[in-house]
Amino acid sequence: MKKTENSRLLDGALVRTASIEAFRKLDPRIMIRNPVMFMVEAGAVMATVISIHTGMTGGPDLSALIQITVWLWFTVLFANFAEAVAEGRGKARADSLRSTNKETQAKKLRNGEKTAVEMVASSRLSPGDFVLVEAGDVIPVDGEIVEGIASVDESAITGESAPVIRESGGDRSAVTGGTRIVSDWLKVRVTAKPGESFLDRMIAMVEGAQRQKTPNEIALNILLVGMSIIFLIVVVTLEPFALFSGTSIPMAFLIALLVTLIPTTIGGLLSAIGIAGMDRLVKANVIAKSGRAVEASGDVDTLLLDKTGTITFGNRMADEFVPLKGVTDREVAEAAAIASLADDTPEGKSIVELAGKLFDFRGDKSKLSKAIAFSAETRMSGADIGEDEYRKGAGDAMRAYAEAGPQVAELGRIVDGIAKSGGTPLVVAKNHKIMGVIHLKDIIKPGIRERFAELRAMGIRTVMITGDNPLTAAAIAAEAGVDDFLAEATPEKKLELIRQEQEGGRLVAMCGDGSNDAPALAQADVGVAMNDGTQAAREAGNLVDLDSDPTKLIEIVQVGKQLLISRGALTTFSIANDVAKYFAILPALFIAAYPQLGALNIMGLASPQSAILSAVIFNALIIIALIPLALRGVRFTPGSAAALLRRNLLIYGLGGLIVPFVGIKVIDLLINAVGLV
């Protein structure tokens, strides 16, 4: 995997494009967005002017001045290159999406009637218009299905080749412009203006054109600018001190000192870290509507998760056959399996499979003389073979249909026990005689308990949301390992829970797909909307999961954590870097006036000129050396905030102190060996 990531990072076309962009970004109107690097560019311009003047007048140290100037420009270019590489990776994905976002002809329905069709360009459609899309048609714009059911190919958006079903009503009624109808037809009400569709917003966000700086990023920028101003004041005051001491410091050397002392490393990589964080979400098939959402996901304290499809598989599966007294396990299993032979639901199939697994049952559907489908009125289903009747259904419905005989109390205990354990009891009868009970379970997904343990280690509280009764919810919550649950959940209860958590100072994340989830998605700090959900849900959330996988919420939190950790680690490394530069440059500037400062030359650098040049070269090279780390992100391992801080300080704090001493010394040896000074 690492090899693949590296090859993508060093792709020749991407590097060439990023190199060109690095020069284009030298435009001061672009550079001013990054004040730290703008200050470096201003220093490079001044150093260039000084070098030209020195060359014309025959001043001293011309070779050193030229080399310092060149490396100052490299420092700016390397920082621009880092940002350009990060943007380029997003633009490649955006170009792929843009190829699907083409002008198409739409079948507009006049007055909403299917019999009155007018062909118009998709750009002429407005919210509220109705369009007809049939097999083979491209859906022209975002919309809400008002009539029909169809199979839709969404591979252009999600990358998933299998078509999905979209239909009017329910939570699968939203369609995205650029997707294609595979079969049947849909009547769609337009919900987006031209140029403001979901795909348009995806393209803008993916390529970084509309990436807004997050609050933490803005705060860090302010800190970096503040530190830069402080160092600028310090450097400006050095020349008067030098004159007082009877010496003079060349202006280019002062510029070099300023550039190496201000936090250029993190200043040059900050934008790349933010863009790369969003790119990692894109790789996970999640589109962020704002950088704030990505960052907030890393600070989440409470995670709200739907039970069905997230914690459990969502389909109840047969787990056990429980007979009444006087009936064998095999008899219950065979009666349940025969009653389920014509039941094509996942639970019906699981009953037949369990009977085959436990008792080698081999039913033949062709031998059924009659199949009884489930209905909401009877609340039972089954089949007949000749004169024999086999039925299964809810407990109260089956009691009304059949006789339990003297085992009524025993049946009640079995049914109540299964319900309290979080399962669903289905009573089985043959010829109006109750045989036993099928224990259906909403199976917990494998590994989910361990994932919740990881989240708990990160200090994140998990809450399961379900429509089940409190007893069933409590049993499933205990088995899954969540910290809390909300039973019999309604939209109002979800919204109330989120507000309670936020009032307690906690950041909340949740996912949803229905219109009834929209208020809670809008209220949550991180609202993950499913792409196959309703338009209301997609508009309310600030993240959209193109795979419509509710478990993705856990992965999103990990990406957010990695973004924050990467930014913190590289900031720590950048600030720690400056210590070595003090020992390299300050003695070099004042050693002529104060020979005693030679004691601070602990690296044994050859000369003042080589010391300054080595520090400038290291300052430039370290930016490009850290580009892969900024783009890939610091490896994330679950743990408490205190443990993560200790790890950062040990690796990036201590590393930031040691690496520059080694690097500057090696560069000093090289430039003296080749006679550059």
Binding residues for ATP, by number, are 343, 347, 374-381, 392
Which residue numbers belong to the known binding site for Mg(2+)?
A: 513, 517
Tokens of 399: 């009691």
Q: Give φ, ψ of 120 to 5 degrees.
A: -135, 160
Q: Which of 244, 242, 156 is nearest to 202 (CA)?
A: 156
| Contact assessment for residue 442 and residue 346, using Cβ atoms and an 8 Å cutoff | no
Rounded distance between C-alpha atoms, residue 443 and residue 313, angstroms: 6
Rounded distance between C-alpha atoms, residue 430 and residue 370, angstroms: 14
Chain position carrying tokens 């959402």 = 293
Rounded distance between C-alpha atoms, residue 213 and residue 209, angstroms: 12
Chain position carrying tokens 């410091």 = 249
Q: Which of 547, 553, 552, 551 is nearest to 164 (CA)?
A: 547
| Active-site residue, from 142, 279, 306, 578 | 306
Which residue numbers belong to the known binding site?
A: 343, 347, 374-381, 392, 513, 517
Question: Is 306 an active-site residue?
Answer: yes
Q: Give φ, ψ of 252 to 5 degrees.
A: -60, -35
Neighbours of 487 (CB within 10 A): 19
Tokens of 11: 């792709």
Tokens of 112: 């909403």
DSSP string, 372-411: E---TTT-EEEEEETTEEEEEE-HHHHHHHSB-GGGHHHH
Q: How far is CA 52 from CA 48, 71, 73, 423, in A?
A: 6, 16, 15, 83
Q: Which of 384, 422, 382 is nearest to 398 (CA)?
A: 382
Rounded distance between C-alpha atoms, residue 577 and residue 659, angstroms: 8
Rounded distance between C-alpha atoms, residue 171 and residue 191, angstroms: 16
Q: Tell me the catalytic residues.
A: 306
